[in-house]
Amino acid sequence: MSFLGCAFKLGAWLSRRLSSEKMFQWSERIADWQWHRSQKDRLAVASNLSVIYGHPISEEDGRVREVFRNFARYLVEFCVIDDSRKPILAIEGQELLSASPQGTILLTAHIGNWELGALLMSRLGLPLSVVALPHPEPCINQFFLRQRARCGISVIPLNRQSAAICLQHLHQGKFLGLLGDREFSNHGVEVPFFGQPILLPRGPATLSLRSGAAIIPVFLIREGPWRFRLFCEPPIEPRAFMNLEREESVTILTQQCAKILEKFVRRFPEQWLLFQPMNQPPRLF
């Protein structure tokens, strides 16, 4: 088992035996250690924050370190995601979810805690399936799958068959959770993002156009220890673009999604957990 795999197992074991306060304290120390040792990650985060803020951000800036700390907090929360504690939750736009028909795409990003967001959606009574990229390390992948399964979340692995399975789930009236801020291949759609061209996944737009399902952007943002706010944005409807050429309609829908993603990344930049320069070609982990 790799060092990373051992670290995940140790973190999961400790998370169930120490108080949340202790675990968050330890996670911040580990995050600071990772921030100190990995110049590559520091430079990537500083590059992204520089684009977001519109001026150069040093890798030594405290906001860079806060991104590392927020990632560590996300991992602590994920390690105990299936236990009985109930986060303090405020919801903005819940009426948009209540009024949405079944068979709706819920679009989110690697911001705040998207895994806990899926759990809270499930607790709200939404029949939810999520698409997830399998981790290349089998032990870590099994850990993530086990945690999601304990929460009753159905996982669709990202592979060549996932599009057909997603369409089937939408036609069955399920809500489909998709991450829209990272493209893991070179087949995405190039759209403006903070004034720069970036490749974003074409999946959300393609599935929306093929199924007729609306896209509702949702983001679970951290406001304190076990305190969150769920933001639900108005639906993006595909009907207005169905008469266009397929590639044009996919591009326009992806641009609309990108504008919403940009809005929340700009508002909560230290909670955007991307450790790769946004303007670089995609890579896996």
Per-residue model confidence (pLDDT) at position 102 = 78
Are residues 97 and 126 in contact, defined by beta-carbon separation less than 8 angstroms?
yes
DSSP string, 115-175: HHHHHHHHHTT--EEEEEPPPSSHHHHHHHHHHHHHTT-EEEESSTTHHHHHHHHHHTT-E
Does the pLDDT at position 155 exceed 60? yes
Tokens of 226: 């076990």
Digit-coded pLDDT (tens) for 59-103:
999 999 999 999 999 988 888 887 756 788 999 999 988 888 879
**154-157: strand order across its sheet:** 88-92, 227-232, 215-224, 105-108, 175-179, 128-132, 154-157
Distance from C-alpha of 117 to C-alpha of 232, rounded to nearest angstrom: 11
Q: Which residue has the higher pLDDT, 282 or 241?
A: 241
- Quote the pTM value: 0.92
Q: What does the domain layout of the chain look like in residue ranges?
A: 3-271
- Cα end-to-end span (Å), the chain: 17
Q: Which of 42-46, 51-55, 143-147, 224-228 has the lowest average pLDDT? A: 143-147
Digit-coded pLDDT (tens) for 115-144:
999 988 888 888 899 999 888 888 888 888
**Composition of the chain by helix, strand, coil, percent to 5:** 50, 20, 35
Per-residue model confidence (pLDDT) at position 84 = 56
Q: How many CB atoms lie within 10 A of CB 112?
A: 26
Q: Sorting pLDDT into bands at 50, 70 and 90, what band is 284?
A: very low
Beta bridge partners of 176: 105, 129
Q: Which amino acid is at 20?
A: S
157-to-70, 135, 185, 231 alpha-carbon distances in Å:
26, 10, 15, 26
Q: Which amino acid is at 29?
A: R
